[in-house]
Amino acid sequence: MNLNGVLLLNKPRGMTSHDCVMKLRRSLGTKKVGHTGTLDPDVDGVLPICVGSATKLVQFLTAETKEYIGEVTIGFSTTTEDASGEEVDRQLVNETFSQADVEAVLTSMLGTSIQIPPMYSAVKVNGKKLYEYARAGEKVERPQREATIYELELLGEITHIDGCVTFKFRVRGSKGIFIRTVAVTIGERLGYPAHMSDLTRVASGNFKLEDCVTLEQVEAGEFELLSTTEALSHFPSVRVDHWVEKLIRNGVKLRPEQVIPPMKEEGLFVTYNQGSEPLAIYQWDGDKEVYVSIRGLW
């Protein structure tokens, strides 16, 4: 069976993204399988998987925005900033948080800020992942990076029990945002240690959880792959004539008059031939005033 396309997987908990890739290689009978962004083992939800020739798309399907449904537990922190870690600091929550209290904190966190990634994360420092330093008991300075929270809202009730407070939230943020750190920050702004106690990714770019399939469904053959055209439908596009198609297939830079309509805004766009076949992903180079091929798709 010759499979090429993008599989929208609902990644289960208890497996790494790499575990899922290895299982799918066996289930689909091909080695050409790659995921588009790591999800922690304790997190489930949307994980786009590229299969066959669609593995060329991996770098382009790492969405700039992602959406999650999470839960924060306020009252104690952990080594990993989530429920799998060892308890670090516990402080009895001896006050009642109202909906207004929580919503005020969530609103205050909107926008761009500097995040420091958790020690138990795959961020690399000097070629080594942070969690490798953490497991070895080594300390290392963690890199700071910008993260943007576009939406952050309270979901459901605020529960006070056994000296802790828990509530669910929905967050839509930029690429690379750590939701564990978001949960910890919520606790800090309410005056207590906290950790992320539950997390599901419900959207990665235009890919939604309701469109995903499980590993069990894949094994049963109950799935469909998105074509390259469908997977790239959110990108701007342009159709070229057969003469320009020949240039594109040779990776040639294109002059402005060869791309109609002009695509001079920042960002990537997809070129298609007259038969609606995706040819390549291009980008405008303002300095040289040409279109540059980023990746061939044939």
Residue 1 — pLDDT band, cuts 50, 70, 90? low
- What is the arithmetic mean of pLDDT over 70-94? 93
pLDDT above 70 (res 142): yes
Phi, psi of 108 (to 5 degrees): -65, -15
Preceding amide of 261 cis, omega within 30: yes
The string of pLDDT tens digits covering residues 223-275 is 999 999 999 998 999 999 999 999 999 999 999 889 888 876 668 999 999 99
The topology under which CATH files domain 65-204 is Pseudouridine synthase (3.30.2350)
pLDDT above 80 (res 138): no
pLDDT of 130 reads 67
The string of pLDDT tens digits covering residues 32-58 is 999 988 888 889 999 999 999 999 999
Q: What dotted CATH number matches 237-296?
A: 2.30.130.10
The string of pLDDT tens digits covering residues 199-228 is 999 999 999 999 999 999 999 999 999 999
pLDDT of 175 reads 86
Residue 2 — pLDDT band, cuts 50, 70, 90? low
Q: In the chain, where does the domain assigned CATH 3.30.2350.10 lie? A: 5-63+206-231, 65-204
pLDDT of 120 reads 67
DSSP states of the chain as a string? ----EEEEEEEPTT--HHHHHHHHHHHHT-S-EEESS---TT-EEEEEEEEGGGGGGGGG-S-SEEEEEEEEEESEEETTSBTTSPEEEE----SPPPHHHHHHHHHHT-EEEEE---SSS--EETTEEHHHHHHTT---PPPPEEEEEEEEEEEEEEEEETTEEEEEEEEEEETT--HHHHHHHHHHHHTS-EEEEEEEEEEETTEEGGG-B-HHHHHTT---PBPHHHHTTTS-EEE--HHHHHHHHTT--B-GGGSSS---SSSEEEEE-TT--EEEEEEEETTTTEEEEEEE--
Superfamily of domain 5-63+206-231: Pseudouridine synthase (3.30.2350.10)
The string of pLDDT tens digits covering residues 143-169 is 778 899 999 999 999 999 999 999 999
Active site residues: 40
Cα torsion angle, 52, 174, 153, 232, sign: negative
The string of pLDDT tens digits covering residues 91-136 is 999 999 999 999 999 999 999 988 777 766 666 777 777 677 767 7
pLDDT above 70 (res 194): yes
What is the share, in percent, of the chain residues with pLDDT greater than 70?
Answer: 96
| 147 compared with 62, residue with greater pLDDT | 147
pLDDT of 255 reads 92
Q: In the chain, where does the domain assigned CATH 2.30.130.10 lie? A: 237-296
